[in-house]
Amino acid sequence: MSLLTINAVTIRLGGRTLLDGADLTIDPGRRIGLVGRNGAGKSTLLRAIAGEIAPDGGDVRLAARARIATVAQEAPSGPASLLDTVLQGDSERLQLLAETESADPGRLAEIHERLRAIAADSAPARAAAILAGLGFDEAAQQRAVQEYSGGWRMRVALATALFANPDLLLLDEPTNHLDLEATLWLESWLARFPGAALVVSHDRGLLDRAVQAIAFLDRGKISVTPGGFDEFVRIRTERALQLSSEAKRIAQQRAHIQSFIDRFRYKASKARQAQARIKALARLPEIETLIEPAPTRFDFPEPARIAPPILALDRVSVGYDGVPVLRNISVSIDMDDRIALLGANGNGKSTLAKLLAGRLDPLSGEIRRGPKLRVGYFAQHQTDELTESEAPIDHMARALPRATSPQVRSQLARFGLDADRAETPVANLSGGEKARLLLALATREAPQLLILDEPTNHLDIDAREALVKALADFEGAVLLITHDPHLVELVADRLWLVAGGTVRPFDGDLDEYRALLAEQARPAAKADAPPRRDERRRERAETRAAQAPLRRQAKEAETLVAKLHAERAALEAKLTDPAMYGPGRTADLTAANMRLAAIARETAAAEERWLEAEAALEATS
């Protein structure tokens, strides 16, 4: 029996039809990711399922006695502790416990039986484990909710929904207020969740590892594909190719028939055949084209090369009001570096970013910057620095006082802010469009070092992929702080762990970091467990240290192969230009062909190093 049935549902809001006869069925225990373009109606659908709005047509049916949990839109507040706030999320448990005060013996027995069935005695431990996974240690769980900022209180709201242990869990962008560590924990928690879930998210990692199917809301209809987001993309791409091929075939058939009709419609000798062709033309199927928006593209300006290291820290301490947050930092950055910072919120990642960006002075130690180093800095809090009444073109013109109007517009266009949006007041821009403006501002001077602090918070899936591609093509260094594991895995080739008041390289990949977090979260089951865990941790650390040079070799070779492929493609495109074969271009033609031959040799050598390093890593794993 289905847990949730959405049958021919139509919803209209503000004169727009968001859902138009949409259908969806969710079985017990089924976890589904809900995706679609911004404004397609995903959040509206969740509200309809939760009973907050009524559909204009069709019906939403939930199985009898099924319980739904959603994250409260308003962050909790008040003097209650975090732990007590989460425990209050299980209304049935609270009601039963209150009833024990006055129930007669017969009813009391029923109550205790039900309390045992819902594992009420383990509720505090479950609530504490969820809060710990979302970044609250034991001491933090005892503090009043009102002591925390809005983002942290929204984590408490999420913890409350997870703790409710519902039959159907509705989550709308659950990672928005999380750091990477909490996001990785949530992925793992959802993958083990025994109930059903419908999750709206732009986080590809979450949609790949935590759900079993993808529901795509498009033009008012819902289609479901099995598997995670990568499988959804594969199936959708194949379908688009099939439609494209079929459309071409039918278009050719239509053109052929129409040609016959046009030629012989008014010839008496061909009238019957022409009428037959008209009927045949009417019977040809209409191919439903995939109405895709214009592809999202980001384009970072190319920076000038400067000598390495472009930035170096020697025994630096940094903090606020003379109190260090991070101590004894000794790291360096080159232009080819792609670094992601690991570590829970509050450990100092953003403090380090501000230090490197020149927004914060060191308390001690030495910072050496390349004499021509330019740094681009992006942080979500910078939206507060935007002037709501002004348009992006006004912000960019002020940031580039010597630039011409076409140059100002060109920089905005690099991030998808076309002529209309360039002149739209900031107050009327979406969160994603504001993020694009901040990226355009951060990169306006073609920086050699780009520091991105949570760049994807308001970007949809397409924009996140555009950011990944742009960073892959970017010729400068990148320092990344993000809660998006997919972005870390595709962009970063070095990981720095910010923890314990300092910064150190993490010699491992994100999967190893996941394993480390899981091990740290696992409680000691036996008295002798800590020494064994310490021993296993030491063994893993030794293995990572031994593998680190091989990982670097493999990554460097992989990066070089990608660059050589790109250079070869550019040269081959150049050689197709007829101008290359004109008078006086013999030297250029010879140089290009010689470089192509050299690229082939360098590619073969780099691929060999890559394979050798991967084989050595496999042998030591």
Mean pLDDT of 287-306: 70
Amino acid identity for residue 519 in this structure? E
Domain boundary (211, 232, 253) is at 232
Q: Identify any residues that bridge with 45 across adjacent strands, giving them in sequence order.
A: none
Structural tokens at position 23: 């259908």
Residue 42, token pair as written in the block: 């995903």
For residue 220, is it within any domain? yes
R_g of the chain, CA atoms, integer Å: 29
DSSP string, 105-146: HHHHHHHHHHHHHTTGGGHHHHHHHHHHHTT--HHHHTSBGG
164 and 116 part of one domain: yes
pLDDT of residue 465: 85
Query: Which string of DSSP letters, residue by residue, matches 224-260?
Result: EEES-HHHHHHHHHHHHHHHHHHHHHHHHHHHHHHHH
Q: Which domain holds residue 451?
A: 311-519
Please name the residue that has the structure tokens 């972005």.
487
Last residue of one domain, picked from the residues 214, 232, 250:
232
Q: Tokens at residue 242, please?
A: 């099939």
In degrees rounded to 5, what are phi and psi of residue 450?
A: -115, 120
Residue 539 lies in a domain: no
Which amino acid, 375? V
Residue 293 lies in a domain: no
Specify burial of residue 616 (Cβ count, 10 A radius: 0-12, 13-18, 19+).
Answer: middle
For residues 437 and 357, state if they share a domain. Answer: yes
pLDDT at 278: 65
pTM over 0.75: no
Inter-helix orientation angle 431-442/405-413, to 10°: 120
Tokens of 82: 């975090």
Class of residue 603 by CB neighbours under 10 A (exposed 0-12, middle 13-18, buried 19+):
middle
Question: Do residues 123 and 93 lie in contact, with contact meaning Cβ atoms separated by under 8 Å?
Answer: yes
* Pairwise pLDDT comparison (102 vs 10), residue with the higher score: 10
Kindly report the number of other CB atoms within 10 A of residue 576's CB atom. 7
Q: What value does the mean pLDDT take over residues 131-155?
A: 91
528 is a domain residue = no
Of the candidates 260, 156, 171, 168, which has an alpha carbon nearest to the alpha carbon of residue 207? Answer: 171
Does one domain contain both 456 and 512?
yes
Tokens of 282: 């009417």
Contacts of 66 (CB under 8 A, 6+ apart): 3, 4, 167, 168
Asked if residue 220 lies in contact with residue 9, where contact means CB atoms within 8 angstroms, the answer is no
Statement to judge: residues 453 and 316 lie in one domain: yes
Q: Are 24 and 2 in contact (CB under 8 A)?
A: no
- Residue 237 and residue 187 share a domain: no
- So what's the pLDDT on residue 279? 63
Q: What is the mean pLDDT of the chain?
A: 85
Residue 253: what pLDDT?
65
Structure tokens at 515: 């394993």
DSSP element (H, E) containing 11 = strand 4-13
Q: What is the pLDDT of residue 261?
A: 64
In a domain, 66, yes or no: yes
Taking Cα atoms as reference points, which of 38, 4, 1, 32 lies closest to residue 18?
Answer: 38
Most confidently modeled range among 36-45, 87-96, 214-223: 214-223
Which letter does DSSP use for residue 344 in this model?
Answer: -
Handedness of CA 501, 507, 512, 516 (dihedral sign): negative
pLDDT at 448 over 60: yes
Can you read off the two tokens belonging to residue 335? 């232009």
β-strands 494-499, 502-505 pairing: antiparallel
Same domain, 494 and 402: yes
Is residue 574 in a domain?
Answer: yes
Q: What digits encode the pLDDT tens for the residues 329-366?
A: 999 999 989 999 999 888 999 999 999 999 999 999 99
| Among 476, 477, 426, 430, residue whose Cα is nearest residue 457 | 430
User: Does residue 121 share a domain with residue 251?
Assistant: no
Cis status of the peptide bond prior to 55, with omega within 30 of 0: no
| Residues of the chain above pLDDT 90, percent | 48
**Contact 326/352 with Cβ under 8 angstroms?**
yes
The full length of the chain comes to: 621
Say whether pLDDT at 555 is over 90. no
Mean pLDDT, residues 198-217 taken together = 93
Q: Residue 290 domain-assigned? A: no
Same-domain status, 378 and 447:
yes
Q: Is 81 among the domain residues?
A: yes
On whether the CB atoms of residues 475 and 402 are closer than 8 A, the answer is no
Identify the H or E element spanning 562: helix 529-575
Domain boundary among the residues 465, 500, 519 is at 519
pLDDT tens digits along 491-537: 888 899 999 999 999 988 888 888 888 877 765 333 344 445 456 55
Task: Answer yes or no: do 616 and 479 share one domain.
Answer: no
Least confidently predicted of 33-37, 83-87, 247-251: 247-251
Question: Which carries the bigger pLDDT value, residue 294 or residue 424?
Answer: 424
For residue 402, the domain's CATH number is 3.40.50.300
Query: Residue 291's pLDDT band (boundaries 50, 70, 90)?
Result: very low
Same-domain check for residues 471 and 498? yes
For residue 515, the one-letter residue type is A
Q: What's the confidence (pLDDT) of residue 556? A: 80
pLDDT given at position 284: 59
Dist. CA 254–CA 283, nearest whole Å: 10
Q: Is 49 exposed, middle or buried (0-12, 13-18, 19+ CB in 10 A)?
A: buried
Residue 407, token pair as written in the block: 């140059």
Say which DSSP state 293 is in.
P
Q: Are residues 264 and 404 in the same domain?
A: no
Is it the case that residue 543 has pLDDT exceeding 80? no
What is the count of structural domains for the chain? 4
Both 494 and 452 in one domain: the answer is: yes
The reported pLDDT for the residue numbered 621 is 63
